[in-house]
Every structure is written in C-alpha cells, then in structure tokens.
Structure 1
Amino acid sequence: MKNVIGKSWRDAATLIVLTKRSKQSLSRGGVNYEILLQTRTGRGAFPNSVVFPGGVTEDADEDDRWLQLFSLFGYTNRDLESLHHANGPITSILQKNPIRRHISLRITAIRETFEELGILLCSQQHKKQKDGLRADFISNIDVKTWQDRVSKNPESLWNLCEDYKCYPDIWSLHYWSNWLTPATLPKRFNTAFFVTALEEKPELKNYSTEVAFVKWSDPTEILNSSDVKLYPPQSYELTRLSHVKDLDELIEFAKSNSCYGHELVFPVYVKVADGILQILPGDDLYPSDVNDNNNNNKYIDKTILELRENCKTIHRAEYPKSKDIKPVFVIRNYKPYNHIDMGDRKITLQKN
C-alpha cells in the first residue's frame, strides 16, 4: 500500500474553517456555526464542485526556517512535539516523520487558503499572549500583491511572514482526517484535513481565478441543497461535523483529538448488480489488503439491498443505476477509531 501511494498520489492539505453564526439563533440543523466553502470553476481539480480551501504540498512548506521562526515567538521543541502522540495508528500522510509532517501540512493548508481566498491565518503574538480556541488572521497587508507572489512562488510565504513579523498559526489548526482519492480517478491526492475556528469572518473579496464563488454556510444547509456538487469527502465530513452542534465543543474535541491517530479513509469501489458501492474502512466488504487491483475491478452479483441486508457492519455509499433512486451513505454498527461516532444513519447524497 505504501509503495502504491508513493507512485500515484500527491500529498495535499485542506482546511475546514468555522465561525460562530452571526445570529444567536440555531440553524435548521441545530448547529451554531458556519463553514467556509468555495465553489470551484470548471477548470482544474474537482471542477464546479463545492470544496474546502486547500491544495498540494510544496517543498517550501517543509523549510527548516519555519522552525527557527516559531522559536522567535517562544515555541519550543515540546510545542512541536505536542502536535503528535506516539500511540495509535499513523496514517500514510504522516508516516515519514509525523511531527514534521504535522507542521508542513498545516503550513500547506494555511498557504493554500491564502492563495485561494486571501485569508492569512498567521499570528503576530508571542506564545505567552496566545489564548483561546480561535485562530488569528492578519488583514492589514496588501493582500492581492502578496497573494500573487505566494501563488507564483510558495517560498514567498516566508518572506511575507518576515516582513510582517508573523508566523503561520499552526497550533490553531487541528488534524481531523486523512482521505485518499480512489484509484479509479485520474487525479489522486493523499489529503490531510484540518479544522480551525475564527472569532470573526474575514473579508472574502480576494479569491483566486480557480474559485468561482465563496460563502459561509451551516453544514445542514449545504448537505440539503440540490444545486451544489459535493464529492464524498466533503459530504462525509460535513455530515460528521454537523453531528456536533456547538462550535466550542467541536473545536475542543478537534484540539484534544488532533495529536492522535485516525484511520486512513481510502474508498474502494465495488460494482454490483444494480449499481456501484463505495466501501469505506470498517465495512464488512472492505478488503483486508487494499491496492489498485481490488480498488478497480471487483464485481458482486447481488443487489445493493441484498448486500445491505447480508452485512452486519456497514460503512458505505450506495449509487443505484436507476435515476429514480437517490444515492445514500449508510452507516450501521460502525465504530470509528478515535473520532466522532455518528451512530446508525442513512444520508442522502448527490450524484456527481
């Protein structure tokens, strides 16, 4: 598995940005927060879809100068080591050097969020001055100029931090999950998902040409919308987030959970008599040894409902051939490792 990932998948990071709702009233789904979502243009990866900001890693994200910069603001090796706990499984994207990967992937998420949306999640505060559960962001800069510079040369993020005496606010980003693009797709990413929260909403007027539209939305609203295109990772994570109604509770959980290992989410497609299943880890049908072959070619001569009825533990998306039947994500008797237990549920999905 490790060799397959090395050959075929590009490392990436994405950031789920949250903020309290402007009004104290609850949303239709009962949550008191909103999520920053962007709609991609018809070009590039995930065209016309609603996604979280993010992109592929660059060598500049792993520069040793970041460690020196953090030390200038009072952060020690112990602070860096706090990003990772040795116990538990280490998913593929963190295996090479977990602590350094936790650092560089957060920098990737911060850099890409700035490139795409013009939001600079950096802090000018010394460690002793930092408190609370919210990330800092800096707005008193020439956003457009620096956005162009960082987009052309990722090393320019270091120059930006040097000029404005700030550092990427990596301790306010919390590791959430690790998704691997199915082997059936031509563009494949090994993506670390992070979660962060802001005290207030920054201006959204400097997004890149890759972004068609940006909005804040509560997870239930976007999940129930019929006119948006969501890929499975976004549908799944929005559903998982919506299971926790209070923002402070959600961020407390994410922070305490961040340094521990999670399962790698590597969807496996299985063709069945009346459609396609997307099987996730923990499902009775999930293969014990995942590779390119069993990710592409398996066929089971039974219907979706037959397989659902004959399995005890279910963690899968079901895509019927019939246009009259909506695809759904089904969870039954599945207990995630070290993450939110959503219980037994059936979630309506959109066809992509």
Structure 2
Amino acid sequence: MYVLYYRYAMRHIWRRFHSMRAQSNASRADSRPWKDAASLIIATPADKTNSTKYPSDYNILFLKRIAKSSFFPNAYVYPGGALDPADKHYRWIEIFQNIDPQFCDNVEKEFFVYQKDGKRSPLFPGDRDALSQGVLPNEIVFRICAIRETFEESGLLLLTNDVQSRRLKPNSVHASSVSHLLTSDIIEKWRNKVHNDANEFINLCIELNKVPDIWSLKEWSEWLTPILSKKKAGKRYDTVFYSCCLQEKPQYLAHDKVEMSESIWISPAEILRRYLTEDIFLAPPQILETLKLLNFSTIESLADYMTKRAMKGMRRLMPHFTLTKDGQIIELFPGDKQYPEDPDELIRERDLTTLDQTFEEILNSKNRFCLPAGGDPVDRLASVLCNVELDYDQVGPVTIKDIADLGLNSKL
C-alpha cells in the first residue's frame, strides 16, 4: 500500500513540476519571434539507381505544401512541423520505460551532445536533471515531434519496440515504417485524430505497444528562418533537421491533403534537376541539404556518415542577407569569412549590409559559404559557394560549376 501511495504521490509531483516548467518555457518562447519545429530527411532504397552524374541507390521523401500555405506555398519540403506541448508530455517517460527499462539510464549517453566550443544550440541545454524531474529533454522532444509530424503529413509511422537492435548496430539501416500493421482506414482515422489533438499520438503508441523510433533519427542540421522581407518579418521557425535511413520502401504513403498536396520519393539529383527546370520550387534549406546529400551514392554510406557524426553536434544556421557592391543580394552562412561573429537572431526587421566586393569577385574568393538570394534557379544553384571546412565533421554542399552535369545543356 505504501509503495502504491508513493508512486501516486511522485506522479502527482511530476505532473505539477512538469506543468510549471512547461509554463515557464512557454513564457520564454513567447518572447522569441519564432516557433520551434522539427523536420525529417528520410532515405529509402530506390527501385533502381539513377543514371545522372550523381547516381544514388536511394530516394528522399518530399512533400509539396498546398498553394494556400502561409509559409513557402507550393514548396517541396521534408515532412515536419511545429512543436506541440504533447511532444513533451510527461507520459512519454513511462511509455518509453515500459518498452525499454534502460531508457532513463541511457538518454544522456545516447542523445546528449556536448560541444566544447560553446556553440551548441540553445534548444539543447543538456539538462541532465530533466528526466529525474519528470521532464523530457529536448533531445527526445524534437525527435518525437519529427516522427509525429511525419505520420500526420505522410502516413509513415516510425515506431519500434526493438530498442536493443538499435543499440547493438547503431549504423545499420534498420528503421522501418510500421504503417503496414494497420489498414489504410485505421491509419487515416488515427492521422485525423492526431491532427486534431497531438496527444492522440501517445494513445496510438500505447495501443500498438511501441514507441517513436528516436534511436534511428540522427542530428543533421538546424535552421533558423531569417527575416525574409524588408517590409514584414513573416513567420519564423527554429527547425531541427534529423535524418533517417529506412531498410525498405514503406508500403503506405499518402499526403494529408490538408497541409500537403503531393508526396514523392525522389533522388537528390532528380529533385535538383526538377528545380533547375523550374518544375518545382525549393527553399534554401532544401537546396543546401539536398546538395549535401549528393556526397553519398549509397544508402549505406549515408547511414554510416549519419551515425559517425551523430554525437558531433551542429550549429544553428540563420542566413545573413547582405548586398554586394554591384547590387546582388546574397545569403551568408556560418563559416563564411564575413558572416557576423554574433548575429542578431532576435532581429525583427531586415537591414542589409553592403560588401565591398562584386558578386563575381565573391564567387572567386576564398573562405566563402554563400548562396544568391532568389533569382533564376540555374544561376542560383550554379552560384552556391562553399569552400570552407564546416564544423563538427559536417559535409558541405556539392557545388555544381557545370549545370550540364544534371542534363541541362539546353539551359546553359
């Protein structure tokens, strides 16, 4: 009887503490001009290797935003969305513990990244005491968000109850969607429920006796939306990008028709080719992250890179708009020699600085990581410049000097 009372009392205390802490975090978040979000780059084996100069034996999931979207309408994006309070609910701790009794003991070792240079994103404070106080650390919260949003937007359900295989073979391609365990009608019923109330994702996991496959999600990058217009700030998101390799192509895929109007599995080279021919629109994060994917021709090499770099860290990327001497607006990224040492991330209106070089001079200079802001897709992609070594063993984007490499001779 005493044990039951103790458990009840502790659970009550945890709930009260979690509620107070969540309110405190929400208060701090309200003071920032952006929302927290998570996105997921999902690779799956391709039916056949494409034949461009950048062949790959895998495809990436892209979703097309609806035309009425208030944020990059009609853009092709990776699945993802804004953080919901349900993603940090205290019930997740018990659910994970039921599947993996070692969960709380291993969270710090498996998910906490410590960057000695002090540039670790403020999204990840490395709170060692969070779990003991009944609070999920953000290293888990953002992964849950990415998996939940992926389910809502595409129907892919990345859950597992086989935690040991993830620990024993962390670099293997073992993740898979479990949507095949449910009929399409049941999937759509749950997607609708989760869309209306994110807490229903918890109930779905309980019903299937599985947990979000957070072990298969590796840190990839983090993007903070800059001020996109000089007239108004617009929507901003601080988005953590994770990557995940699936062992087989999912049997079920269906965009939600609410936020997305199309869903496709496509190779990195092919999505860039379609962007260059102006068949589709890509925003800067998708442009640069897809160019990074061109470094990997096989899903095994991609998975190996993801695993080896998983605990190295990442730096928040906020493009810094600046004006060249000849009037070209470009976006500078961390690593560029003229990227601000301490950029004003809380900026609420855009104020362009001017460089003392022409655009052509910049393209022929060293220590650069930049991208033209807007313009013709061919010129924009051909002018991506990254001749610096990125931090934390991150690969840089493949810069394409000869657009004909992607079969676009007619565009030159």
Structure 2: distance between partners of 1:248 and 1:217: 17
Q: Conserved in 2, the CA contact under 8 Å of 1:283 and 1:334?
A: yes
**Equivalent-residue separation in structure 1 for 2:204 and 2:146 (angstroms):** 16
Structure 1 contact 143–206 (Cα < 8 Å) conserved: no
CA–CA separation in structure 2 for the residues paired with 1:276 and 1:6 = 29
Question: Does residue 1:188 correspond to 2:213, yes or no?
Answer: no
Counterparts of 1:177 and 1:148 in 2: how far apart (Å)?
29
Aligned to 1:67: 93
- Aligned-pair CA distance for 1:260: 2.4
**Letter in structure 1 aligned against 2:47:** S
Are 1:95 and 2:121 matched, yes or no? no
- Contact 2:294 2:398 (8 Å CA) reproduced: no
Question: Match of 1:335?
Answer: 389
Residue 320 of structure 1 deviates from its aligned partner by: 7.7
CA contact (8 A) 2:330 2:373 kept: yes
Residues 273-299 of structure 1 show CA distances to partners (whole Å, capped at 9, x for unaligned) of 232110001111211121128953313
* Contact kept in structure 2, 1:287 and 1:294, CA below 8 Å: no
TM-score (norm 1): 0.89
Structure of larger gyration radius: 2
Task: Find the residue that maps to 1:224 and give its secondary structure.
Answer: helix
- More helix by percentage: 2
Query: Contact (CA 8 Å) 1:12, 1:57: kept in 2 or not?
Result: yes
For residue 199 of structure 1, report the CA deviation from its aligned partner. Answer: 1.8
For the 8 Å contact 2:112–2:126, the answer to whether it is kept is: no
* SS of corresponding position for 1:278: strand
Q: 1:306 aligns with which of 358, 361, 366?
A: 361
Greater displacement, 250-259 / 71-80: 71-80
The sequence identity of aligned pairs, in percent, is 28
What TM-score results when the alignment is normalised by the length of structure 2? Answer: 0.77
In structure 2, what residue type is equivalent to 1:49?
A
2:178 to 138, 146, 166: 138
Letter in 2 for 1:133: V
2:154 to 117, 121, 131: 117
Tell me the amino acid that sits aligned with residue 246 of structure 2.
L
Contact persistence 1:267–1:280 (CA under 8 A): yes
| Equivalent residue runs for 1:316-327 within 5 Å | 316-319=370-373, 326-327=379-380
* Aligned match of 2:112: 84
SS at the partner of 2:379?
A: coil
- Mapped partners of 2:300, 2:337: distance in 1: 35
TM superposition shift of 1:97: 3.9
Letter in 2 for 1:296: D
Residue 273 of structure 2 is aligned to residue 224 of structure 1: yes
Residues 1-352 of structure 1 mapped to structure 2, 5 A cutoff: 7-23=32-48, 25-28=49-52, 29-44=54-69, 45-74=71-100, 75-81=102-108, 82-88=110-116, 89-95=119-125, 97=127, 100-123=137-160, 125-128=161-164, 130=166, 132-139=172-179, 140-141=181-182, 142-184=186-228, 185-202=233-250, 203-205=252-254, 207-225=256-274, 226=277, 227-272=279-324, 273-291=326-344, 292=347, 296-300=351-355, 302-309=357-364, 311-319=365-373, 326-328=379-381, 329-342=383-396, 345-346=399-400
* Contact 2:56–2:298 under 8 Å retained in 1: yes
Cα pair 1:333 1:343 within 8 Å, conserved: no
Whole-angstrom CA distance in 2 between matches of 1:119 and 1:201 = 10
Q: Which runs of 5+ in 1 are unaligned?
A: none
Whole-Å separation in 1 of the counterparts to 2:398 and 2:291: 13
1:37-94 deviations in Å (ceiling 9; x for gaps): 1111112222101100000001110112212111111242243111123244312322
Question: Hey, what's the Cα distance between the residues in 1 that align with 2:51 and 2:317?
Answer: 29
Name the CA shift for 1:37/1:20 in 2 (closer, same or farther; >3 Å): same
- Of residues 252-261 and 113-122 in structure 1, the stretch that sits farther from structure 2 once superposed is 252-261
Indicate conservation of the 8 Å contact 1:304/1:318, yes or no. Answer: no
Task: Give the aligned length.
Answer: 342
In the alignment, is the contact (CA less than 8 A) between 2:63 and 2:255 conserved in 1?
no
1:5 Cα offset (Å) = 9.8
SS in 2 for 1:338: helix
SS of 2:340's partner is coil
- The unaligned stretches of length 5 or more in structure 2 are 1-27, 129-135, 404-412
CA distance in 1, matches of 2:30, 2:331: 19
Question: Contact between 1:275 and 1:318, CA under 8 Å: does it hold in 2?
Answer: yes
Larger relative strand fraction: 1
Matches of 1:57 and 1:4, distance apart in 2: 11
Tell me if the contact between 1:117 and 1:208 (Cα under 8 Å) persists in the aligned partners. no
2: distance between equivalents of 1:301 and 1:285?
A: 11
